[in-house]
């Protein structure tokens, strides 16, 4: 029996004020689908970019939905669903197309491949802050760059959701994370999270300073891996932080200006899209196993910047995201 759910929609591109909350019909789950009662949403930069029309794909307007990450409980399952059962705690994420399937809502129906099990010991707020950040850090650092114990990894924009997870993923395997931020006030927080060193760049492009510090901290050798969310003009001088033969994984593009690639230095440049890993059955299994092992034994503690209570606070949550004042994930309890 279909029902309705309060759902965040937007009808035009713009700032947080374009987000509205409307009653939307939720169908029964069809074959291979799962209905989830949402308990909490985790915001991503992607959603702010999507709302503003600057993400890598465009919203279908009017009445676009929004959101990749939620945690909740399975409310109903469709025919043929065998991996999940009613009442299971879950997280959403893999393979979601936001306009049609966005999870900012009280209830959602998704393909079972977009829903993963959440350990029973993990509460809804923690679950909403976990999936995308840790699986991105896992896939990029371990499967793509081949980060090894003892390696140094330079994490730029390290106060981001993905950056804070990357620090913990690096520590979990015995690698040494160096972090950058533009904001002095975030230094101690990043050290507390496990960064071995933090370089504060300030608003101006501080990549030359970052590269100099990275070389000093590695005895002149440079870091084995750079994990970069920023790109732009800061990219070329940043590459000077890299050890000969190292790897750069570019996973974000927070500075939209063109980036120059240094050609006269042997290294491997990877671009990374988490969906490519997590929409394959093997990638979903490996990344979820890695995440849930860390969540279950307490090794992974998602950093929650702020929790907003109620779907009605969604525009305020987006305003905080756009302000860049946060460290870690912004969560809305539904």
Ligand X SMILES: NC(=O)c1ccc[n+]([C@@H]2O[C@H](COP(=O)([O-])OP(=O)(O)OC[C@H]3O[C@@H](n4cnc5c(N)ncnc54)[C@H](OP(=O)(O)O)[C@@H]3O)[C@@H](O)[C@H]2O)c1
Q: How far is CA 252 from CA 35, 97, 137, 151, 163, in A?
A: 31, 18, 12, 22, 11
- The residue within the footprint of ligand X, chosen from 77, 229, 242, 317 (CB under 6 A), is 229
Per 3-state DSSP, the chain is made up of helix, strand and coil in percentages (nearest 5) of 35, 30, 40
Of 75 and 306, CB closest to ligand X = 306
For residue 257 the two structure tokens come to 């200006």
Mapped onto helix, strand or coil, the DSSP state of residue 150 is coil
Nearest residue to ligand X by CB is 252
Task: Choose, by CB under 6 A, the member of 36, 45, 128, 210 that binds ligand X.
Answer: 45
253 binds ligand X (CB under 6 A): yes
Bridge partners (DSSP) of residue 8 are 21
Identify the residue among 7, 64, 159, 247 touching ligand X (CB under 6 A).
159
Question: Which CB sits closer to ligand X, 26 or 190?
Answer: 190
For ligand X, the closer CB: 33 or 278? 278
Asked if 44 interacts with ligand X (CB under 6 A), we say: yes
Q: Rank residues 159 and 218 by Cβ distance to ligand X and give the closer one.
A: 159
Single out the residue of 64, 71, 113, 181 in contact with ligand X (rule: CB under 6 A): 181
C-alpha angle 257-260-262 in degrees, rounded to nearest 5: 160
d(Cα 178, Cα 243) in Å, to the nearest integer?
Answer: 14
Number of residues near ligand X (by CB under 6 A) = 26
Segment lying near ligand X (by CB under 6 A), choices 5-13, 239-247, 251-259, 307-315: 251-259
Residues 152 and 175: beta-carbon distance below 8 Å: yes
Taking the complex as a whole, the smallest distance from the CB of residue 173 to ligand X amounts, in Å, to 20
What is the signed CA dihedral for 254, 259, 263, 267, rounded to 10 degrees?
0
Considering beta carbons, is residue 76 or 209 the nearer one to ligand X?
Answer: 209
Q: How far is the CB of 214 from ligand X (least distance, A)?
A: 17
Q: At what angle do helices 45-52 and 314-323 cross, to 10 degrees?
A: 100
**Residue 147 CB-density burial (10 A; 0-12 exposed, 13-18 middle, 19+ buried):** buried
Q: Are 304 and 1 in contact (CB under 8 A)?
A: no
Binding mask 54-93 for ligand X (x = CB under 6 A): ----------------------------------------
* Rounded Cα gap, residues 61 and 55, in angstroms: 14
Stretches 7-15, 44-52, 58-66, 309-317: which one binds ligand X (CB under 6 A)? 44-52
Binder of ligand X out of 37, 171, 182, 212 (CB under 6 A): 182
Q: Is 324 near ligand X (CB under 6 A)?
A: yes
Q: Does 278 bind ligand X (CB under 6 A)?
A: no
Closest residue by Cα to residue 42 from 125, 163, 150, 158? 125
Place of tokens 């042997």: 266
Binding site for ligand X (CB under 6 A): 44-46, 132, 136, 157, 159-162, 181-183, 186, 229-230, 251-255, 272-274, 321, 324
């Amino acid at each position: 029996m279909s029902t309705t759910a309060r759902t965040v929609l937007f009808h035009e591109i713009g700032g947080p004020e374009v987000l509205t909350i409307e009653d939307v019909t939720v169908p029964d789950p069809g074959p291979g689908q799962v209905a989830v009662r949402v308990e909490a949403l985790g915001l991503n930069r992607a959603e702010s970019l999507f709302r503003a029309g600057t993400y890598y794909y465009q919203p279908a307007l009017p009445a676009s939905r929004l959101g990749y990450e939620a945690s909740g409980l399975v409310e109903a399952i469709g025919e043929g669903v065998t991996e999940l059962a009613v009442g299971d705690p879950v997280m959403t994420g893999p393979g979601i197309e936001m306009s049609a399937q966005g999870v900012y809502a009280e209830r959602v129906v998704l393909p079972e491949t977009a829903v993963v099990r959440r350990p029973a010991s993990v509460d809804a707020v923690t679950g909403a802050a976990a999936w995308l950040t840790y699986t991105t850090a896992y896939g990029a650092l371990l499967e793509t760059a081949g980060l090894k114990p003892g390696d140094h990894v330079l994490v730029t924009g390290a106060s981001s959701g993905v950056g804070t997870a990357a620090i913990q993923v690096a520590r979990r395997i015995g690698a040494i994370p160096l972090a950058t931020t533009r904001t002095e006030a975030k230094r101690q927080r990043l050290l507390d999270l496990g960064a071995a060193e933090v370089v504060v760049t300030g608003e101006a492009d501080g990549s030359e300073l970052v590269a100099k510090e990275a070389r000093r901290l590695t005895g002149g050798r440079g870091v084995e891996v750079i994990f970069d969310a920023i790109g732009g003009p800061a990219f070329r001088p940043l590459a000077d932080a890299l050890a000969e033969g190292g790897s750069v994984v570019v996973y974000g593009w927070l500075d939209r200006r063109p980036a120059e690639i240094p050609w006269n230095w042997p290294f491997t440049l990877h671009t990374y899209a988490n969906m490519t890993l997590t929409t394959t059955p093997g990638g979903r299994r490996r990344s979820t196993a890695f995440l849930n092992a860390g969540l279950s034994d307490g090794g992974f503690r998602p950093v929650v910047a702020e929790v907003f209570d109620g779907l009605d606070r969604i525009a305020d949550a987006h305003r905080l995201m756009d302000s860049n004042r946060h460290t870690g994930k912004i969560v809305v309890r539904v």
